[in-house]
């Protein structure tokens, strides 16, 4: 395996924990702790992403080298790696939770590739760290398959996200109480190698702020802007206040854009705690996430959130702003005047609204959003909900409807229940007639409109039941479906012949099956 070029700025420039023992404890005044991965019994490479390998300048030969599985299981360090876990806090389900930190994530370092791009390489599930609290630092195969696949699927869908290089089985078992019903059982363990320009979260800033550690807070802000937002240093070379204001504004803008894309593709994150939001606006921490099948704005895949449904599909834009307000609150001590913080939070709302409207117009096949479209869109989502129509299939089918002579024929596969279809058939046809009239106003050739619609309405999304099938096969010893699924998700907007089954609505057997509709946080 070829060497990597490391330039570990996080540990070089931010204060580290002087204590070197790997014991669980509060860590004050430091952004990270040195900690080595704990070796595992029998690393075996189950899947890898060729695109992410290329980001690190690896080719197929590097990946197939037995050293690769050893390194990305945490059994072996290569020249330049300085493994560390970072210190952060967070608001979990609306409540301040204090110090959390990388309890099972260990960064190996920051790679600078041939193109000069910086990619931090991080193992998830590589053993305990000072931040592991009561847990074991490990991850089960099922959650690792889900993180590996969804990271890459989201990238190919055009949604900002952390990436995944590899999925390695550990050859060890991990005990989990999957249903939180007092029946813990051993499951196969795995490690995902995540890759991103930065793994800094909103909670990294909240923790020192909560402790009144202004010095660490300032250093973190300075570091983040310098490493992850260098264009802002160039734009405001001498004005720290303006630079910080521009930074928080950009954090808000990026978060708004990412969440607008979640809404576009029907993704529900499931655990939007402030420790699970990236400061560079990436989708991060794939846990009990899910995808809309039959449209329901209140859908959440997370069983832990089934009561309050704080992180339900339709609430994600508001939660994004709530989370950013927690970050804004943490930054108050280093802003002479809080006005720019308030303005940035308002900017979040404006950017979300503009992006969401533009994407919604594209989904419906209109050239641009008009305020008068609001009513038609609201009625469409009401029909989708009442008619239990598949979110993804609806928009693909809509592109096939002739605006001049609408019919329900293209939607034949999008319904989950006959009774619901019959209930709304008349209303849907009437709606399609009005939609057709709106499309006609744009006066755009059908082919061009259809191509624009297909570019924002995926044919394939990583439906939970598809991931679960890959998991079941992998647990039974055959990981090939993981790679097969990844290959389909590489071109999500293109109908791929022979792969129709991957575009199908959730089958009935999956409606209530664990992993296919609802998931616990246990992972």
As annotated, the active-site residues are 275
Tell me if 304 contacts Mg ion by CB under 5 A: no
Please state, in angstroms and rounded to a whole number, the distance separating the CA atoms of residues 284 and 341: 24
Distance set, CA 220 to CA 97, 207, 232 (Å): 20, 11, 15
C-alpha angle 434-440-443 in degrees, rounded to nearest 5: 160
Tell me if 86 contacts Mg ion by CB under 5 A: no
Tell me if 136 contacts ligand AMP by CB under 6 A: yes
Tell me if 103 contacts ligand AMP by CB under 6 A: yes
Which residue, chain included where needed, has tokens 């303005």?
Answer: 343
Among positions 110, 187, 285, 305, the unique one binding ligand AMP when judged by CB under 6 A:
285
Tell me if 206 contacts Mg ion by CB under 5 A: no
- CB of 264 closer than 8 Å to CB of 493: no
Tell me if 147 contacts ligand AMP by CB under 6 A: no
According to DSSP, residue 61 is labeled: H
Among positions 37, 43, 160, 287, the unique one binding ligand AMP when judged by CB under 6 A:
287
395 closest CA partner among 315, 449, 321, 326: 449
Residue 191's CB is within 10 A of a number of other CB atoms, namely 28
Among positions 70, 187, 285, 373, the unique one binding Mg ion when judged by CB under 5 A:
285
Out of Mg ion, ligand AMP, none, which partner does residue 305 contact, by CB within 5 to 8 A per kind?
none
Beta strands in 183-314 (DSSP E): 185-196, 267-268, 290-291
Tell me if 273 contacts ligand AMP by CB under 6 A: yes
* Least spacing, CB of residue 113 vs Mg ion, in Å: 26
Tell me if 132 contacts ligand AMP by CB under 6 A: yes
Tell me if 519 contacts ligand AMP by CB under 6 A: no
Q: Which stretch binds ligand AMP (CB under 6 A): 162-170, 271-279, 374-382, 412-420?
A: 271-279
Q: Which stretch binds Mg ion (CB under 5 A): 205-213, 285-293, 397-405, 491-499?
A: 285-293
Beta strands in 179-234 (DSSP E): 185-196
Out of ligand AMP, Mg ion, none, which partner does residue 366 contact, by CB within 5 to 8 A per kind?
none
Tell me if 302 contacts ligand AMP by CB under 6 A: no
Task: Render the burial of 372-398: b for 16+ CB within 10 Å, e for the rest.
Answer: ebeebbebbbebbbebbbbbbbbbbbb
68 closest CA partner among 104, 44, 37, 40: 44
DSSP 370-383: -GGGHHHHHHHHHH
- For ligand AMP, the closer of residues 131 and 415 by Cβ is 131
Which residue, chain included where needed, has tokens 């992180």?
Answer: 311
Tell me, by CB under 6 A, how many residues bind ligand AMP: 17
According to DSSP, residue 181 is labeled: S
* Least spacing, CB of residue 114 vs ligand AMP, in Å: 32
- Which residues of the chain form contacts with Mg ion (CB under 5 A)? 276, 285
Judged by the rule CB under 6 A, the positions of this chain that interact with ligand AMP are 100-104, 131-132, 135-138, 271, 273, 276, 285, 287, 521
């Amino acid at each position: 395996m070829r060497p990597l070029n490391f330039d570990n700025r996080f540990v070089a420039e931010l204060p580290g924990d002087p204590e070197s023992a790997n014991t669980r404890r509060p860590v004050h005044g430091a952004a990270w702790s040195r900690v080595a991965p704990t070796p595992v019994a029998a690393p075996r490479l189950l899947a890898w992403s060729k695109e992410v390998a290329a980001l690190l300048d690896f080719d197929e030969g590097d990946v197939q080298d037995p050293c690769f599985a050893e390194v990305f299981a945490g059994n072996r360090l290569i020249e330049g790696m300085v493994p560390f876990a970072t210190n952060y806090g967070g608001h979990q389900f609306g409540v301040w939770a204090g110090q959390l930190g990388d309890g099972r994530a260990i960064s190996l370092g920051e790679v600078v590739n041939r193109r000069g791009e910086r990619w931090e390489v991080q193992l998830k599930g590589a053993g305990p760290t000072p931040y592991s609290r009561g847990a074991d630092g490990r991850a089960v195969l099922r959650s690792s398959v889900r993180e590996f696949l969804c990271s890459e699927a989201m990238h190919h869908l055009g949604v900002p996200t952390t990436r995944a290089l590899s999925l390695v089985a550990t050859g060890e078992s991990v005990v989990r109480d999957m249903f939180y019903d007092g029946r813990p059982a051993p499951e196969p363990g795995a490690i995902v190698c995540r890759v991103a320009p930065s793994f800094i979260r909103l909670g990294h800033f909240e923790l020192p702020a909560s402790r009144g550690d202004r010095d660490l807070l300032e250093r973190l802000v300075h570091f983040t802007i310098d490493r992850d937002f260098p264009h802002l240093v160039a734009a405001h070379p001498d004005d720290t206040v303006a630079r910080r204001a521009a930074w928080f504004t950009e954090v808000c803008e990026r978060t708004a854009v990412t969440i607008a894309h979640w809404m576009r593709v029907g993704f529900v994150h499931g655990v939007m705690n402030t420790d699970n939001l990236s400061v560079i606006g990436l989708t991060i921490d794939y846990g009990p996430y899910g995808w809309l099948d039959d449209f329901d704005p209140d859908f959440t895949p997370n069983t832990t959130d089934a009561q309050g449904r704080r992180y339900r599909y339709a609430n994600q834009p508001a939660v994004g702003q709530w989370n950013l307000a927690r970050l804004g609150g943490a930054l108050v001590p280093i802003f002479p005047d809080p006005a720019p913080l308030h303005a940035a939070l308002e900017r979040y709302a404006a950017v979300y609204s503009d992006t969401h409207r533009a994407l919604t117009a594209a989904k419906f096949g209109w050239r641009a959003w008009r305020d008068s479209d609001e009513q038609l869109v609201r009625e469409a989502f009401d029909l989708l909900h009442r008619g239990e129509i598949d979110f993804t299939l609806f928009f693909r089918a809509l592109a096939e409807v002739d605006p001049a002579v609408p019919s329900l024929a293209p939607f034949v596969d999008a319904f989950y229940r006959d009774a619901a279809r019959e209930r709304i058939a008349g209303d849907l046809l009437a709606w399609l007639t009005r939609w057709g009239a709106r499309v006609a106003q744009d006066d755009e050739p059908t082919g061009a409109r259809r191509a624009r619609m297909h570019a924002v309405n995926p044919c394939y999304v990583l439906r939970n039941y598809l991931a679960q099938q890959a998991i079941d096969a992998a647990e039974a010893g055959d990981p090939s479906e993981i790679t097969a699924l990844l290959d389909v998700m590489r071109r999500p907007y293109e109908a791929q012949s022979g792969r129709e089954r991957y575009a199908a609505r959730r089958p009935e057997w999956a409606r209530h099956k664990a992993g296919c509709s609802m998931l616990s946080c246990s992972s």
